[in-house]
Amino acid sequence: MSNYTYLTQEGYDRLKADLEKLKTDGRQEVAKAIAEAREKGDLSENAEYDAAKDAQGLLEMRINELEKTYANARVLDASQLDDSRVTVLSKVTIKNKKTKKEITYQLVAHTEADLKNKKISVKSPIGEGLLGKEVGDTAVVHTPNGDIEFEVMNISLT
């Protein structure tokens, strides 16, 4: 399996902006908090200083994580994808075979997943179950409460 993260252009631009914001504004804010805590005296018993240093560590970890994602990011062009099978960027209408309810999801990279906007990660149980399926296929999704069967009703890239 590749280490690439496949993103939409929008997701790629958002990732780049988030990374730049953390590197500039985020680092400035943490440095300011550390400086303010230092001014308060004895660092060995200064909880504010410890908290600021912890925040700095978390910030640097997040920057490192985003830099890795950014370095391995590949922007997908929907016009170059095949809509006969479910892939990243596919909008898939599925029907729960038991409840007969239909729902449409777009499969995206884990960094772009947003359930409110019906964007689910290709690494989620539903995403993994749907990848590679064609219209009419049955996708079996493994959940803690048992397997759920979905029928693929429609696949589009728009």
Q: Give the pLDDT confidence of 93-145 residue by residue, as tens digits.
A: 999 999 999 999 999 888 888 889 999 998 899 999 998 899 999 999 888 88
Q: Give the pLDDT confidence of 18-64 residue by residue, as tens digits.
A: 999 999 999 999 999 888 888 877 767 778 888 888 999 999 999 99
What is the 3-class SS of 91-107, one letter each residue? Answer: EEEEEECCCCCEEEEEE
At the top level of CATH, which class does the domain 79-156 belong to? Answer: alpha beta
**Does domain 5-75 correspond to CATH entry 1.10.287.180?**
yes
Model pTM?
0.67
Backbone angles phi, psi at 75, to 5 degrees: -85, 130
Q: Give the pLDDT confidence of 15-30 residue by residue, as tens digits.
A: 999 999 999 999 999 9
Going from N- to C-terminal start, the domains of the chain cover: 5-75, 79-156
**CA-CA distance, 79 to 157, in Å (whole number)?**
8
Q: Give the pLDDT confidence of 62-82 residue by residue, as tens digits.
A: 999 999 988 988 887 767 777
**CA-CA distance, 136 to 106, in Å (whole number)?**
18
DSSP per-residue letters across 29-52: HHHHHHHHHHTTS-GGG-HHHHHH
